Amino acid sequence: MALAENRTVSYEDFLKLREASDDKLEFIDHVVYMTPAPTPLHQRICFKVAKILDGYVEDKDCQMLQGINIRFLDEQKRKIGDVIPDVSVFCNYSDIDATFIEDIPALIVEVVSPSTVYTDNIKKTDLYKRAGVKEYWIIDSKSKCITVWNFISDEQMIYHEVTKSYLIEGLSIELRDLFV
């Protein structure tokens, strides 16, 4: 949910706002979005996905990270996003002590909450595509499906039984395991 519709802020003002707030704030195209605290179901799904991804990418020179700040830049190196995805997979990345990560994740996973449907499906999809993320999963626990965006070929698939990754060969997740 945007803090102020039709009001843009500078990145520097966003950082001041974030520092002064106890809320989870994200910055997308000069608009600040506040995300409420996650539900237990949201966190349970995040944990299950993170566990599966962590085990799968461990031997592929990739690592799974949860709830970290990622800064996205445009071609002119201007900050266009500062978000905290639920789960991210980085390949060939080693600086896990950084406060903000400016590398582009190969894969991002967001678990949709009622208040983040628009942001996750529209704003973040556009941001991640422009920033160079290769694959984006949107998990909807209400409809029990996962939308997978392959930004390399600009394809989208909606899965209801078994989700498959375009990017990570052989990676699939049984949805019934996530929603129990």
Would you tell me how many other CB atoms lie within 10 Å of the CB of residue 5?
A: 7
Q: Is 32 helix (H, G, I), strand (E, B) or coil?
A: strand
Is residue 6 pLDDT above 60, yes or no?
A: no
Q: Is the pLDDT of residue 3 over 70?
A: no
Q: Is a pLDDT exceeding 90 seen at residue 159? A: yes
Average pLDDT, the chain: 91
pLDDT at 22 over 90: no
Give residue-wise pLDDT tens across range 43-92: 999 999 999 999 999 888 889 999 999 999 988 988 999 999 999 999 87
H/E element, 19? helix 11-20
pLDDT score at 1: 58
pLDDT above 90 covers a percentage of the chain that reads 71
pTM: 0.93
Give the per-residue pLDDT at 37.
87
Mean pLDDT of 33-39: 89
Please state the length of the chain. 180
Q: What is the mean pLDDT of residues 120-124?
A: 96
State the virtual CA torsion across 79, 84, 89, 92 in degrees, nearest 10.
Answer: 40
DSSP string, 112-127: --GGGHHIIIIIHHHH
Give pLDDT, residue 112.
95
Q: What is the number of alpha carbons within 13 Å of residue 132 lying toward its C-beta?
A: 12
* The token pair that represents 139 in the structure block: 């998990």
SS3 156: strand
For the chain, strand residue ranges (E) read 24-28, 31-35, 62-66, 69-73, 79-83, 87-91, 100-101, 107-111, 135-140, 145-150, 155-159, 162-164, 172-174
Mean pLDDT of 18-37: 91
